[in-house]
Amino acid sequence: MLKNSKGHDRGGLARPRQPRPRGLGERGSIALQTAIAMLVLLGMISLGVEVTTVLLRHRQMQTAADAAAMAGVRAMGISADSIALEARAVAAQHGFVNGVDRVSVAVNVPPTLGSHAGDASYVEVFVGQPQTPILAQLIRAGDFAPRARAVATTTLTAGACILALDSSASQSVLLNQNVVMKTDACSVISNSSSSSALTLLNNATISGPTYVHGGTALSNGAHLNGAPNVTSGNLTADPYAAVVLPTVPACTGQSGAISGTKTLTAGHFCSGLTLANNATLNLSPGVYYIDSTFKTGNGVTINGTGGVTIVINNSFAMNVGNNGIFNLTAPKTGATSGLVFYSRPTNTSTITQGFLNNAEMTIVGAMYFPSQILRLANNAVTAPGRCTQIIARKIIFDNNVQFNSSCNDTGVLPIGGLGSKLVE
Q: Which tens digits make up the pLDDT trace of 218-258?
A: 999 999 988 778 888 878 889 999 999 999 999 999 988 99
> Is residue 127 domain-shared with residue 263, that is, in the same domain?
no
CB 3, CB 9: distance < 8 Å: yes
Q: In which domain, by residue range, is 413 found?
A: 157-422
| Domain end position, chosen among 145, 171, 200 | 145
Give domain status of residue 309, yes or no.
yes
Count of Cβ atoms closer than 10 Å to residue 293 Cβ: 17
Instruction: Assess whether pLDDT exceeds 70 at residue 149.
Output: yes
Q: Average pLDDT, stretch 180-189?
A: 82
Arithmetic mean of pLDDT over the chain: 83
- Give the chain's domain count: 2
Instruction: Assess whether pLDDT exceeds 50 at residue 2.
Output: no
> Is residue 166 domain-shared with residue 140, that is, in the same domain?
no
Give domain status of residue 2, yes or no.
no
Distance CA 192, CA 44 (A): 63
Distance CA 166, CA 42 (A): 70
Distance CA 1, CA 319 (A): 146
Instruction: Assess whether pLDDT exceeds 70 at residue 341.
Output: yes
Say which range, 51-55, 186-190, 294-298, has the weakest mean pLDDT: 51-55
Give domain status of residue 6, yes or no.
no
> Is residue 132 domain-shared with residue 177, that is, in the same domain?
no
Longest Cα–Cα distance of the chain, Å, equals 160
Return all residues near 48 (Cβ < 8 A) that are at least 6 apart. none
> Is residue 111 domain-shared with residue 227, that is, in the same domain?
no
| Domain end position, chosen among 145, 180, 200 | 145
pLDDT at residue 27 in the model: 57
| Domain end position, chosen among 90, 112, 145 | 145
pLDDT at residue 45 in the model: 54
Give domain status of residue 18, yes or no.
no
Give domain status of residue 4, yes or no.
no
Give domain status of residue 24, yes or no.
no
> Is residue 226 domain-shared with residue 85, that is, in the same domain?
no
Instruction: Assess whether pLDDT exceeds 80 at residue 378.
Output: yes
> Is residue 222 domain-shared with residue 96, that is, in the same domain?
no
> Is residue 301 domain-shared with residue 393, that is, in the same domain?
yes
> Is residue 133 domain-shared with residue 164, that is, in the same domain?
no
pTM check: above 0.75: no
The tens digit of pLDDT for each residue in 264-318 reads 999 999 999 999 999 999 999 999 999 999 999 999 999 999 999 999 999 999 9
> Is residue 211 domain-shared with residue 301, that is, in the same domain?
yes
CB 197, CB 172: distance < 8 Å: yes
Which band of pLDDT confidence, cut at 50, 70 and 90, is reported for residue 143?
A: low
Give domain status of residue 12, yes or no.
no
Give domain status of residue 262, yes or no.
yes
> Is residue 58 domain-shared with residue 190, that is, in the same domain?
no
pLDDT at residue 369 in the model: 97
